[in-house]
Amino acid sequence: MEAVIATGGKQYRVSTGQIISVEKLPGDKGAAVEFRQVLFVNRDGEVLTGPSLGSARVAGEVVRQARTRKISVVKFKRRKNYRRNKGHRQAMTTIRITTIEV
């Protein structure tokens, strides 16, 4: 069984036992997480979407809280002696999907 969930402004295709990294969610390592915004479920070839997913949910547990690799944000204008260099690391949560319920 697999499902498509929405969290953090993005959509993720998940199945039971899979580990995904999403935008930061509250909770420490081992905490339970529940996704109520389920957009699509494929249950052994039977496709469920729309109103038939009213009670669907995907549950998981937090594996770790971390930050992604640093990215450099560089601004530069030639011949104007204008240079700016900034770094950014996005906070993320790694989750193991435990159950998909419809």
Q: Are 62 and 25 in contact (CB under 8 A)?
A: yes
pLDDT of residue 68: 95
Domain assignment present for residue 70? The answer is no
What average pLDDT is seen over the chain? 94
How far is the C-alpha of 21 from the C-alpha of 96, rounded, in Å? 9
Domain assignment present for residue 79? The answer is no
- In terms of pTM, does the model score above 0.85? no
How far is the C-alpha of 56 from the C-alpha of 63, rounded, in Å? 23
- Supply 78's token pair: 């030639």
Across the range 84-100, mean pLDDT stands at 96
| Model confidence pLDDT, tens digit, residues 6-22 | 999 999 999 999 999 99
Q: Are 85 and 72 in contact (CB under 8 A)?
A: yes
The number of domains in the chain is 1
| Model confidence pLDDT, tens digit, residues 19-66 | 999 999 999 999 999 999 999 999 888 888 888 788 899 999 999 999
Domain assignment present for residue 58? The answer is yes
How far is the C-alpha of 96 from the C-alpha of 32, rounded, in Å? 10
